[in-house]
């Protein structure tokens, strides 16, 4: 990437930080330096030339002053047992820090079994004490199979297993649980900490599918490092998947998995104060299918979002297509026949009595629908328009501003295909360069630009990032690059746990930079990122935030056209409409 006449702004901010580390992966430091600015010229880099600003944060200052509590101020006993609307919840100290308390596997809804299978989540009525010692079971899913991809690194299969729900963790229909990590500090006593609620994605190997796999019982999504580094409350949520979450049954409530997410956030709103979080500072975040889900949320709950910010990693409503009308119902009928419920006088009652593993197996046998890209298909059981939670026309809803006006941070990775090439290879597909380029534009680059521009056009603060880094311990094969999902290691800070390999100093610095940015947004979605120098997205200025270019622990600001110039002529995957037709706001004042 070639840059010329670049302004380099070096910022140093005072902070104190306490952290415990695993295999050298997590380090902390404290520093007090003055703020200074200097102009410099940067040597040529690869791929593009732009005038930009570079924000460089040192390892000691990237997380800034948000963490001003040390181990000596921890009040762990106060938070080992907390009161909730469903009774006492008993947590324990996390393995990385005596200050971080984790609460695992907390039920937020009744088990969706019996009459509650294929039904919306029901509130818990129990008031009994709960020992939050272990993760809850995964919701029913069919794990991805191993793929012998050429050039796989020694750590690749383990990374994929943790990312693609293939680590052998237990499954059960009784799976509607969430996990909480919170540092026992003075901010916890005040209940002023921001809350980040994260929804996993679900891209399955062999099928390029979403909302088919995903679980919280994975080191990929542990919140203990982020909670320690930034004094933020981190929450991860299990929600129903595939046919159990998106059954497609005629004349029935749809999009149950998305309704699970709402039930979880309502539970968080009602109880998070007891864990040190501020119920008025809830940000929802998700990756891939999870990114689509949090964007769905803004349209579904326009009048009652109960959240203050949205972070969408590598996915929004324009990223992926839905099934054509009639397809979900046909797929449902196929499973009904497979478990011998077709002739039942009450098909739904029969399906609720059938063995869940038989239902899961039958659903797994239905092939996804091909789409316009060889790297993207439409899962057999997927969110479907019900005009309540999921809508059929996001183009008009977006242009009219029919969404919750909450600030948004959204982005994607530079080499999303680095992951998608693996299931393609397993299916005997080697995509051409043109196919890859179209896929990246249709599903990631252009949807990010369109949604960021749309939010800004309606007066909503919005930021867009592009993650570029390629670290040794997260690499899948020599050219995997910044692939789908790899940016999550920077937020959760657990790449050493996932890969079994240590991180580098620059990797840790970029982790702290990004963790502080995500904290800043969650703490104040309207202006938190502005406070650290990140510009709001603007099609006409250097406002796209490039993270980790050439593995440098920096945030660089480049003109969006560096990547999105083809977008007006690109058909967006999630709308089937040319970008030029969906985004007149691209040229609107911002």
Half-sphere exposure of 322 (CA within 13 A, CB side): 24
Angstrom distance (rounded) from CA 279 to CA 422 = 40
Q: Supply φ then ψ for residue 458, to 5 degrees.
A: -105, 20
Q: Encoding tokens for residue 149?
A: 């991809």
Out of 288, 371, 443, 520, pick the active-site residue: 288
Please enumerate in sequence order all residues whose Cβ is within 8 A of that of 337, keeping only pairs 6 or more positions apart, or say none.
none
Taking the C-alpha atoms of residue 192 and residue 250, their distance in angstroms, rounded to an integer, is: 45
Active-site residue flag, 288: yes
Tally of CB atoms within 10 A around 565 = 12
Render 142-189 in DSSP notation, one character per residue: -PPPP---TT--TTHHHHHHHHTT-S---B-S---EEEEEEE-SHHHH
Which among 254, 311, 306, 230 is positioned nearest to 16, based on CA atoms?
Answer: 230
CA-to-CA distance for 478 and 474, rounded, in angstroms?
11
Distance CA 111, CA 211 (A): 19
Cα–Cα separations (whole angstroms), residue 379 to 206, 313, 418: 11, 20, 20
Q: How far apart are the first and last CA of the chain?
A: 27
φ, ψ for residue 256, nearest 5 deg: -65, -35
The set of catalytic residues is 288
């Amino acid at each position: 990437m070639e840059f010329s006449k670049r302004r380099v702004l070096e910022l140093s901010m005072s902070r104190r930080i306490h952290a415990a580390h695993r295999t050298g992966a997590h380090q902390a430091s404290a520093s007090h330096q003055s703020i200074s600015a200097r102009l410099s010229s940067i040597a040529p880099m690869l791929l593009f030339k732009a005038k930009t600003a570079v924000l460089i944060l040192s390892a000691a200052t990237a997380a800034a002053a948000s963490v001003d509590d040390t181990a000596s101020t921890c009040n762990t006993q106060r938070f080992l047992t907390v009161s909730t609307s469903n009774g006492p919840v008993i947590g324990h100290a996390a393995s990385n820090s005596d200050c971080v308390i984790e609460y695992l596997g907390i039920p937020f809804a009744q088990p969706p079994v019996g009459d509650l299978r294929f039904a919306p989540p029901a509130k818990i009525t129990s008031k009994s004490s709960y020992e939050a010692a272990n993760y809850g079971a995964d919701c029913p899913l069919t794990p991805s199979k191993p793929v012998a991809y050429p050039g796989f690194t020694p750590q690749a299969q383990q990374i994929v297993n943790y990312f693609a729900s293939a680590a052998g963790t237990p499954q059960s229909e009784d799976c509607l649980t969430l996990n909480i990590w919170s540092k026992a500090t003075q901010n916890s006593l005040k209940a002023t900490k921001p809350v980040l609620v994260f929804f996993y994605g679900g891209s399955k190997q062999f099928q390029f599918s979403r909302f088919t796999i995903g679980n919280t019982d994975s080191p990929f999504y542990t919140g203990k490092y982020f909670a320690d580094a930034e004094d933020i409350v981190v929450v991860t949520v299990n929600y129903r998947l595939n046919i159990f979450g998106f059954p497609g049954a005629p004349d029935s409530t749809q999009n149950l998995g998305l309704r699970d997410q709402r039930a979880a956030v309502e539970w968080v709103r009602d109880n998070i104060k007891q864990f040190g979080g501020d119920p008025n500072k809830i940000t929802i975040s998700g990756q891939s299918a999870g990114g689509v889900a949090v964007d769905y949320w803004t349209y579904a709950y326009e009048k009652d979002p109960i959240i203050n910010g949205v972070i969408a990693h590598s996915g929004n409503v324009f990223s992926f297509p839905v099934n054509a009308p009639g397809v979900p119902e046909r797929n449902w009928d196929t499973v009904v026949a497979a478990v011998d419920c077709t002739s039942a006088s009450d098909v739904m009652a029969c399906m609720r009595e059938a063995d869940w593993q038989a239902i899961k197996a039958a659903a797994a046998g239905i092939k996804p629908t091909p789409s316009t890209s060889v790297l993207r298909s439409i899962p057999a059981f997927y969110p479907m328009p019900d005009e309540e939670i999921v809508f059929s026309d996001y183009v008009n809803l977006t242009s009219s501003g029919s969404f919750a006006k909450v600030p948004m941070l959204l982005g994607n990775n530079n080499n999303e295909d680095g992951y998608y090439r693996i299931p393609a290879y397993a299916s005997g597909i080697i995509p051409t360069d043109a196919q890859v380029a179209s896929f990246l534009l249709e599903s990631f680059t252009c949807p990010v630009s369109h949604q960021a521009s749309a939010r800004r056009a309606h007066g909503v603060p919005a930021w867009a990032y592009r993650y570029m880094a390629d670290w040794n311990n997260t690499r899948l094969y020599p050219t995997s690059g910044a692939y789908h999902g790899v940016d999550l290691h920077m937020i959760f800070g657990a790449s050493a746990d996932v890969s079994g390999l240590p991180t580098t100093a620059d990797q840790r610095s970029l982790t702290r930079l990004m963790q502080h940015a995500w904290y800043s947004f969650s703490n104040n979605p309207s202006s938190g990122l502005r406070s650290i120098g990140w510009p709001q997205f603007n099609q006409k200025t250097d406002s796209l935030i490039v993270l980790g270019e050439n593995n440098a622990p920096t945030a660089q600001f480049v003109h969006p056209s560096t990547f999105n110039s083809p977008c007006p002529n690109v058909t967006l995957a999630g709308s089937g409409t040319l970008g030029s037709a969906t985004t007149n706001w691209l040229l609107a004042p911002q």
